[in-house]
Amino acid sequence: MTASTLDSHPLHPPRIGPLEWIRSRLFPNLRSGILTILLAPVVVYALYRGALFFFVNGRWEVVTRNLTLFMQGTYPRGEQWRIVAQLMLLALALGVGTSTSAASRADIAREAGLTVGKRTPLSIIKRFWSLIVFVLVLLYFAATVTPWLVMAGTVAAFLVGTSARFIPSRFRNIGWTLAALILVAAFQVVVGTVGYSWMITAGVLAAGAWATFQFEGVEGRRATVYRTSVAVAAAVVAYFVYTVLVFPGVGWDHWSGLHLTLWVSAFAIVLSFPLGLLLALARRSTLPVLRWVSTGYIELIRGVPLITLLFMGQYILGFMLPQGTDPSSITRAITAMTLFTAAYVAEIVRGGLQSIPHGQTEAGLALGLPTGKLMRMIVLPQALRSVIPALVGQFISIFKDSSLLYILAIHEFLGVRSLVHAQPDFRVIAHAESLVFVAIGYWAFAYAMSKESQRLEVRLRAGKS
Amino acid sequence: MNRERAQVFADATEAKGDVIIEVEGVDKFFGDFQALKDINMNVGRQEVVVVIGPSGSGKSTLIRCINRLEKHDRGRIVVNGIELTDDLRNIQEVRRETGMVFQQFNLFPHLTVLDNITLAPREVRRMPKKEAEELGMRMLERVKIPEQARKYPGQLSGGQQQRVAIARALAMQPKVMLFDEPTSALDPEMIKEVLDVMVELADSGMTMIVVTHEMGFARAVANRVVFMADGQIVEVGTPEHFFTDPREDRTKLFLSQIL
Amino acid sequence: MLRAAGQVAAVAVIFLVLRWLIGNLATNYGRLNIGFDFGFLFRPTQFQIPNHPEFDPRSPVWRMVLVGVKNTALAGIFGVALAGVLGLIIGIGRLSQNWLAARLSSGYVEFFRNIPPLVVIVFFSFAVFLYGPLPHLREAIELELFGSDRPALILSNGEWGIPGIRSTGDISLYGILTLVGIVVAALVWRWRTRVTEQSGESHHRVLWSLGVLLVVLVGSYVALGGPFVVDWPQLSENRRRLVSGFSVNAGFMSVAGALGLYTASHVAEIIRGSIQAVPWGQSEAANALAFTNFQRYRFVVLPQAMRIAIPPLINQALNLIKNTSLAAAVAYPEITNLTQTSIGNGRPAVQSIVVLMAVYLAISLVVSLILNVVNRRMQLVTR
């Protein structure tokens, strides 16, 4: 046996040439080689037929001529400026939100003495490529220049929003409040002050006021009093403002197409989360009645398909409310979807709560924390962080399930096809093309969301030791 | 200096009979990181070689290359006359002749202890069930826990599980036994029972390559001690030479940290 | 103290809200003179179930419910079978060394997982069948086997005619003999397995069992003088319907096929995840013992992977069954579809929906029980 000598040996790993790559990946042994030989022609043929369908034979005029129907359905043509404004405001809110979150992560990293990864335009494109491709497809199908201008305006609004990173770190919370307010404004600009909009606005203003005025110097009871009074004041002001400033809009009963799909999903997600949280806590409650009721509710909802709840909403909900209040189809649908998703959110959160080691609760109790604070500050944050991937999965599910509104004859992204194919020109042709278009639309959003969830999962796991 | 060293090595090898494992000029890369740098080593029949070194030195990688759990990128490895190549048949032959004991035991949790031991003889060597079970019980007696035959691994202590793992590897009647830190995952009070089995195995004439931190074992049983660091073999010697009069500074540093 | 009061308050609130809701329901129903009873189940259905010419519209509603449940079960069984087989292949393909197989499997999963199942169902129903490349039944494609003048398959955009079985003798006796044959084949399986354990030679038990079964099936057929013949599909004189053969409805194929394809993507992910969840050391130990790839999968990896995979797989089966309710969008008369039609025809909505939910709850309950039993049986034995 000899000791090793370093001088005469190269130190690079052996490189793999293209021929070697083909051999090792496609023909490493006999069985694999046969598989390649069987699969390759099928793939080539499929690609060939696919290319024919997409670029040569396909009747894509069904999309080109009906693009507005797909995007916003039967939304009144004269009010389209509202949707454009909504798009810009949403981009603005997104810009504010993402830059605030990136900035606060940078703050934390700076305090810990670490560096944060750079975010280049190229990495963003790689991250959201499915959405970008979908938008490009839409622009391609659009006949006029206007969509391009709208797109440019949206991107500009986003960039303006990212200037929120210049807010000094002490006031970081204002960034979040601002984003929330802009989101509400985006909703209001289309909906006006009809219906439930003022309630939503008042609620968000109150929450925003609370978040903004942290009263960090003030402790205990007084802080709570201050915060509550600011919140109440904000709600009252909002109420008066909205009863005075009445301006018209287009209620969500008149929305359809992809526009409706996105908003219905957003509402179902946002509303189901607090409800699901409450249900999960109730299920662990010491009071038997609360436990039974919540368990019964969760098991009931999880045992039936969503469509039955949508039927309930459509046929029964009207009867459960006093005569005269007649919620629209969309309201019923959103209610049903929220109640449905909340049960699944509850189960996910319950799983998260169960996964927190009992030692955490014990440590908190040993420190003298009351149960409420213990829950809020120690157990819940950890539990929620650990189940974020599962929650996002559930939200993707509800986004896809919004397609069920088609069965209720509501014209969301899938359902608007009935209007498209009701036209004499498209009665019997181009069904495949319109369905492929719809499928690609859903896929682009769902894929982007699932990729984000995977990134989150990696980041959460990296955070754990 | 080199000639003197070579003399020691030659004595050690020839003293124990012909060569059963040849490792020649072996490099191994994980991506751009080089885990093994020009490893040259011969192991003779019935020799007990103990490999020590700091973590990350490549010692586990080395023995895992010997039964092809890792694939070496350059160089030759020959086991019992069979050279390790990409050819599956070669690999299978080599694996039949080498037994391995893992740090994490890796017993099959869904099978009983006896089934764990007899599965490979039955399926790989096509032994009839009765014969395999008799062999299995003999192996269990050899590791001193025949009464555990019908239990499941989950019901055994760590030391017992590792002994079952040794019995499982022995049941294939290998020519060489490879041990990858067999006691590192055990509670202190169970290390002795496993080491006792390994000592008995060495005394019975089995060729063994053992990666371990147990210096007492090395002193008692090893024919040779190999010290590796940073992917290279730094020093080799008999236990007497090695522990009392190491030559390389790196070796001295390591020994001072652990002894 | 405060907590307890808070919880009691919460209970009170829930109770009051429920009382208000149900109170309104009762009031409104009272105004409209609708009863709360389930008597409608015993009154005539008064509409025809599509593709079920044998169903008499005068039969009571509960019969319609049974037809719906049967159709739900049928689509569920075929869908689960398709999803299981396809999902297994794709799941293992994902882990293949062959780059092409791995990529295709990944592509399949990433595509189908991210689109709504309803889109797949509608695609099959409208783009593949109804407005698709196949002609109407009047001009149906008739595929003949070599040298025969009778069609073996009749393809149209609404239904397909496939060969069926027509009884010409004692077919029930044949059925019994088939069952006997299966039992004998199972015994042969056990015998061959035992032979291997004694002597160590290959058992070829699959060949032996299938061979024995084949002998029994053919022998019984001959012995009974041919108790059945093939019922070839045939169109009526005016080419408006199928008069013989077995008719497979396009709605059924859409729902079962689409859900099979969709759920297969989830099954593939579960199987891939469960195989990857088996600790790597297990594979290493198997490799060190000189197992072939096949042996390693069969004895070490798959048994452990199955333990991990079975609960989520059973969950997916339940999801598929619940997803058959999406047939309400196409012309397949399973229970949800029929309930919608029934309510449209004037049946009371609340009670109908209660019945509908009860059906699904019953199915969920049965599946949960199966899951619990399976889980308990598969627990690994520990200290």
Per CB-CB distance under 8 Å, the chain A contacts of B41 are 1
C-alpha distance from B149 to closest chain A C-alpha (Å)? 35
Decide if C284 and B119 are in contact by the 8 Å CB cutoff: no
Question: What does pTM read for this prediction?
Answer: 0.84
C-alpha distance from B155 to closest chain C C-alpha (Å)? 4
Per CB-CB distance under 8 Å, the chain B contacts of C303 are 110
Per CB-CB distance under 8 Å, the chain C contacts of B169 are 288-289
User: Does any CB of chain C come closer than 8 Å to the CB of residue A428?
Assistant: yes
Burial of B54 (0-12, 13-18, 19+ CB in 10 A): middle
C2 pLDDT higher than 80: no
Per CB-CB distance under 8 Å, the chain C contacts of A25 are 97-99
Tell me which residue of C339, C316, C322 sits closest to C112, measured CA to CA: C316
Out of A308, A320, A442, the one facing C21 most closely (by C-beta) is A320
C-alpha distance from C32 to closest chain A C-alpha (Å)? 10
Task: Give me the residue label for tokens 């509800």.
Answer: A398
Out of C282, C285, C383, the one facing B155 most closely (by C-beta) is C383
What single DSSP character describes residue B228? E
Tell me which residue of B122, B190, B129 sits closest to B156, measured CA to CA: B190
User: Does any CB of chain B come closer than 8 Å to the CB of residue C300?
Assistant: yes
* Res A253: pLDDT: 81
C-alpha distance from A207 to closest chain B C-alpha (Å)? 51
Decide if C197 and B128 are in contact by the 8 Å CB cutoff: yes
Interface of A with B in 29-48 (CB under 8 A): 29
Label residue B124 by pLDDT band (50, 70, 90).
very high
- Residue ranges covered by each domain of chain A: 58-75+252-465
If DSSP states are collapsed to H, E and C, what string results for A226-245?
Answer: HHHHHHHHHHHHHHHHHHHC
From C337, which residue of chain A is nearest by alpha-carbon distance?
Answer: A407
* Res A10: pLDDT: 53
CATH 3.40.225.10 matches A58-75+252-465: no
Instruction: Tell me how far apart the alpha carbons of residues A171 and A167 are, in angstroms, rounded to a whole number.
Output: 7
Per CB-CB distance under 8 Å, the chain C contacts of A431 are 126-127, 130-132
B179 pLDDT higher than 70: yes
* Res C289: pLDDT: 95
Instruction: Tell me how far apart the alpha carbons of residues B159 and B148 are, in angstroms, rounded to a whole number.
Output: 13
Instruction: Tell me how far apart the alpha carbons of residues A408 and A366 are, in angstroms, rounded to a whole number.
Output: 54
User: Does any CB of chain B come closer than 8 Å to the CB of residue C139?
Assistant: no
C-alpha distance from A15 to closest chain B C-alpha (Å)? 10
Chains in contact with C, counting 3 or more C-beta pairs less than 8 Å apart as contact = A, B
From C303, which residue of chain B is nearest by alpha-carbon distance?
Answer: B110
Q: Are A341 and A398 in contact (CB under 8 A)?
A: yes
How far are the Cα atoms of A352, B9, B192, B199, B211 from residue B217, in angstroms, in the given order?
Answer: 47, 21, 10, 8, 11
- For the stretch B121-128, contacts whose Cβ atoms lie closer than 8 Å and that sit 24 or more positions apart, written own/partner, are B121/B171, B121/B172, B122/C200, B123/C291, B123/C295, B123/C299, B124/B96, B124/B172, B124/C289, B124/C290, B124/C291, B124/C295, B125/B96, B125/B172, B126/C200, B126/C201, B127/C200, B128/C197, B128/C198, B128/C199, B128/C200
Query: Residue B85: what residue type?
Result: T
Decide if C104 and A447 are in contact by the 8 Å CB cutoff: no
Three-state secondary structure call for residue C121: helix
Those residues with Cβ within 8 angstroms of residue C231's Cβ, 6 or more apart along the chain or in another chain: C163, C164, C165, C166, C244, C245, C246
From C122, which residue of chain A is nearest by alpha-carbon distance?
Answer: A435
User: Does any CB of chain A come closer than 8 Å to the CB of residue B259?
Assistant: no
Out of C27, C114, C350, the one facing A316 most closely (by C-beta) is C350
Give pLDDT tens digits along chain A (465 positions).
444 444 444 556 666 677 777 777 777 777 788 888 888 899 999 999 999 988 888 888 888 888 888 988 888 888 888 888 899 999 998 888 888 888 887 877 777 777 666 667 777 788 889 998 998 888 888 878 888 888 899 989 988 888 887 877 767 777 777 888 788 888 888 887 766 666 667 676 767 666 666 555 556 677 677 777 777 777 777 777 677 777 778 878 888 889 999 999 999 998 999 999 999 988 888 888 888 889 999 999 999 999 999 999 888 887 787 777 778 888 899 999 999 999 999 999 998 888 888 888 888 888 877 777 777 777 888 888 888 888 999 999 999 999 999 999 899 999 999 999 998 888 888 888 999 999 999 999 999 999 988 888 787 766 554
C-alpha distance from A312 to closest chain C C-alpha (Å)? 7
C-alpha distance from C319 to closest chain B C-alpha (Å)? 29
User: Does any CB of chain B come closer than 8 Å to the CB of residue A286?
Assistant: no
Out of C8, C10, C118, the one facing A403 most closely (by C-beta) is C118
Label residue B1 by pLDDT band (50, 70, 90).
very low
Per CB-CB distance under 8 Å, the chain A contacts of C357 are 300, 304, 308
User: Does any CB of chain C come closer than 8 Å to the CB of residue A319?
Assistant: yes
Asked which of A442-456, B209-223, B237-251, C201-215 is least confident by mean pLDDT, the reply is C201-215
C152 backbone dihedrals φ, ψ, rounded to 5°: -95, -25
So what's the ipTM on this one? 0.86
User: Does any CB of chain B come closer than 8 Å to the CB of residue A2?
Assistant: yes
User: Does any CB of chain B come closer than 8 Å to the CB of residue C281?
Assistant: yes
Per CB-CB distance under 8 Å, the chain C contacts of B98 are 288
Decide if C113 and A450 are in contact by the 8 Å CB cutoff: yes
Out of A4, A13, A14, the one facing B38 most closely (by C-beta) is A4
Express each pLDDT in C197-238 by its tens digit: 776 666 677 888 888 888 888 888 888 777 777 778 888 877
C-alpha distance from A4 to closest chain B C-alpha (Å)? 6
Per CB-CB distance under 8 Å, the chain C contacts of A285 are 7
C-alpha distance from A270 to closest chain C C-alpha (Å)? 20
Decide if B126 and C200 are in contact by the 8 Å CB cutoff: yes
Decide if B9 and A1 are in contact by the 8 Å CB cutoff: yes
Express each pLDDT in C277-329 by its tens digit: 999 999 999 999 999 988 999 999 989 998 889 889 999 999 999 999 999 99
Mutation site, B106, B166, B172, B175, interface C, largest C CB count within 10 A: B106
* Res B208: pLDDT: 95
Decide if A322 and C131 are in contact by the 8 Å CB cutoff: no
Q: Are C176 and C183 in contact (CB under 8 A)?
A: no
Decide if A285 and C118 are in contact by the 8 Å CB cutoff: no
* Res C111: pLDDT: 95
Q: Are A333 and A405 in contact (CB under 8 A)?
A: yes
Which helix H or strand E contains B80, and what residues bound it? none
Asked which of A188-202, A387-401, C173-187, C364-378 is least confident by mean pLDDT, the reply is A188-202
Mutation site, A435, A436, A440, A451, interface C, largest C CB count within 10 A: A435
Decide if C288 and B69 are in contact by the 8 Å CB cutoff: yes
C-alpha distance from B224 to closest chain C C-alpha (Å)? 24
* Res B178: pLDDT: 96
Per CB-CB distance under 8 Å, the chain B contacts of C304 are 108-110
Instruction: Tell me how far apart the alpha carbons of residues A399 and A263 are, in angstroms, rounded to a whole number.
Output: 10
C-alpha distance from A12 to closest chain B C-alpha (Å)? 7
Decide if C281 and B106 are in contact by the 8 Å CB cutoff: yes
Helices (H), A288-328: 288-303, 306-311, 317-320
C9 pLDDT higher than 80: yes
Decide if C290 and B120 are in contact by the 8 Å CB cutoff: yes
Chains in contact with A, counting 3 or more C-beta pairs less than 8 Å apart as contact = B, C
Decide if C131 and A293 are in contact by the 8 Å CB cutoff: no
Structure tokens at B110: 């869904």
